[in-house]
Structure 1
C-alpha cells in the first residue's frame, strides 16, 4: 500500500479554473479538496439599480460557455420577483433553448474535455485523423455541437449570449423552415450521439 500527497494547482479540461488536493494513506484516499478558483466578479452589485429587462443580458456574461443557462435563470428570477407567469409557448421555447445548450455543452465536455483521456491524448486536436475511430469522433463531435448550436440559434437568436429571450416571452419566433431544418440536423446527429454513448459504455 502506498501513501502520497497530490496537488494539482491548475486542472485542465474543465470550464473555468480549479485546483485539487488529495491525501492518500495506505492506498486509501483520506482527504479530497476540490477548489474552484474564480475571483469575485461582483455581478450582484453590478445589477443594482438597473432596469429589470437589462438584468438577464448582463448576467448571461457570467459564463461564455453556458450563458444561455444564466440568461434563462435570470429571466425566471425577474419574473418571480414581479409575479409574471410566462405562457406555455414561452416555456416550450425556453426548454428548446436549454436543449440546444445541453446538446452543445455535452459535446464540448464529453469529446473535448474527457475523450482525449480515453485515448491517452493531450487534447482533442491530437486525435489521429488517419485512425478510423478517432477520425469518426472528430466528425461526430462537431456534428452534435452544430446541431445543438443551430437549435439554440433559431430559438434564442444565438447559441451564446442569446438575444431573443426576454421577460415574459421571446422577441422573435423561429420559422417553420428553421424548425424543420433543426429537426433534420438533430436526426442526422443521432447516430453520432449513439456512438458517443457506446464509447463511454466501454470505459
Structure 2
C-alpha cells in the first residue's frame, strides 16, 4: 500500500514498511531530497557572509540558523558580543520558537486530532480556533520584522551586534501584543487539554542544550541523557554522522544509537528550569518527566510557547527600562575610524542553538583572512530521522493486526509529524509504503 504526497510535513520523504506473516521485516525512513550544498557554498566566502547564506537553509528557522552561524563565527574570530546583543538574540529566538510551535500544533497536528485532512475544513467548523492560531503567528511575524528587519532570512543581526537597533516604541508595542497574547495561549492550553494524542512509549536517548541558570535555548552545554555535559566546541566527540544507501540524508547517533532532539528532549532534560506557570501547564496537560511518548512532543511545544512568551515579556521590560547601549550593540560592515574594526584571524568556531526542532550545530574553520575553509552543519531533523525509524520499528508490531491499513497509515503519518520534521532543511511530501 502506498501513500503519496502526505501534506503537513515540510520536504519530501518516504516510509517503507515490510510486514510478512505478522513479522516486521523492514522499516525505513528515506529522504529523497537532492543535496543542497550549503556547506560547499560557504567555502571560499568571507565569514561575515555566512549568516546570510545559512539563513536560507530554512524559511521557518531562518533566525535560528542565522544566530547559530553568528555564534560559530564569533567563536572562530574571538569576538564577544555585548549583554544587550545577547538579550535581543534570545528575544528573537523566543519569537521564532513561538512562530514554529503554533504552526505545528494548530496546522500540522490539530487536524489529525480533529479528524480532518487539513486546516481548511476547520475554517468552517472551528473558525475561532484558526483565527486564534493566526493571531499568535502574526505576533511572531511582526516581532521578526522589528527585531531583525524581517522574520524570514533576517538581515539586521550580525557578528558582534546589530546593524539596526529596534525602536523603543516598537519594543513597547511588542510587549503590549505579548501581554494580550496570554489570553490566546490560555485558550490553546484548553484546546490541547481536550484533544487526545495516541498512546505510545519507547525509552530512548535525548540530547539538548542545558544551562545551570535557565531553560536553555541560546546558551548552554550539550546534555546527553542527563548523564554528560559537553562543550559545543567538542560536539564531534559525542555526535556521529553516517551515510546509508537508501537515504540522501545522513543518520546521526550518540553512544552508537539513535536519539531525539526538540521540545520533548528539552523538557525531559531541562524541565526543572521552567518557570512555575509553565510547570503547572505541563502538569495540567499530562506531561511529566521523563516522558517517552513521542506524540507528546506537541504538548511540550505548547508548554514552551508559554515559557517563551513570559520570558520575552521579561526581556522586553528590561530593554525598555534600561535602554539598549547602541555604542556597544550597533555594528557596521564599513566602520568609521576607531569603530568596530572588522576582525579576521585563523580559527575554528562551533555554534549550538536550540531551534524549534532541536539542537542545531554550525561549525566553521576560517583562515587568516577570515575566509571559510571548511563548514559543517547538523540540522535537528537530520538528528531525529534515526530516532523516527526506531519509533516506527517499535510501533508497527504493536498496531499490526489491530489497525487496518488506512488506520496504520495515519498512525505512522502522525508519528512522523510528531517530530515536526523539516526534511528539506536536512538535506509536504511523504510516501508510506506497506510491502506484504
Query: Quick check: 1:144–1:192 contact (8 Å CA) kept in 2?
Result: yes
Is the Cα contact below 8 Å between 2:123 and 2:130 reproduced in 1? no
- Per chain length, whose mean CA-contact separation is higher, i.e. which structure has more relative contact order (CA < 8 Å, sep 6+)? 2
CA RMSD of aligned residues (A): 2.1
2: CA distance between counterparts of 1:198 and 1:28? 40
Gaps of 5+ in 1: 1-5
Query: What is the SS of the residue equivalent to 1:144?
Result: helix
Residues 35, 188 of structure 1: alpha-carbon distance in 2 compared, 3 angstrom cutoff: farther
Q: CA–CA distance in 2 between the matches of 1:196 and 1:72?
A: 29
- For 1:197 and 1:119, the matched residues in 2 are separated by 16
1:178 is displaced (CA, Å) by 0.6
Aligned to 2:75: 80
Cα distance change of structure 1 residues 184 and 45 upon mapping to structure 2, 3 Å threshold: same
1:54 partnered with 2:49: yes
Out of 180, 188, 193, the position equivalent to 1:201 is 193
Q: Distance in 2 between matches of 1:68 and 1:109?
A: 17
Q: Where does residue 187 of structure 1 map in the other structure?
A: 179
Q: Which residue of 1 aligns with 2:169?
A: 177
SS at match of 2:133: helix
Q: Deviations over 1:45-64 (max 9, x none)?
A: 11111111111101111111
More strand by share: 2
Question: 1:148-187 residue pairs with structure 2 within 5 A?
Answer: 148-187=140-179
Structure 1 residues 20 and 147, CA gap change in structure 2 (3 angstroms): same
2:114 aligned partner = 119
DSSP-derived class of the 1:146 partner? helix
Which structure has more helix as a fraction of its residues? 1
More off after superposition, 32-41 vs 68-77: 32-41
The corresponding residue for 1:145 is 137
For residue 162 of structure 1, report the CA deviation from its aligned partner: 0.5
Which of the numbers 40, 45, 52 marks the counterpart of 2:40?
A: 45
TM-score normalised by structure 1 residue count: 0.86
What CA distance in whole angstroms lies between the structure 2 residues aligned with 1:103 and 1:188?
15
SS in 2 for 1:20: strand
**Is 1:17–1:38's contact at 8 Å kept on the other side of the alignment?**
yes
Choose from 79, 93, 102 the match for 2:97. Answer: 102
What's the TM-score once normalised by structure 2's chain length? Answer: 0.42
Q: How many residue pairs get matched? A: 195
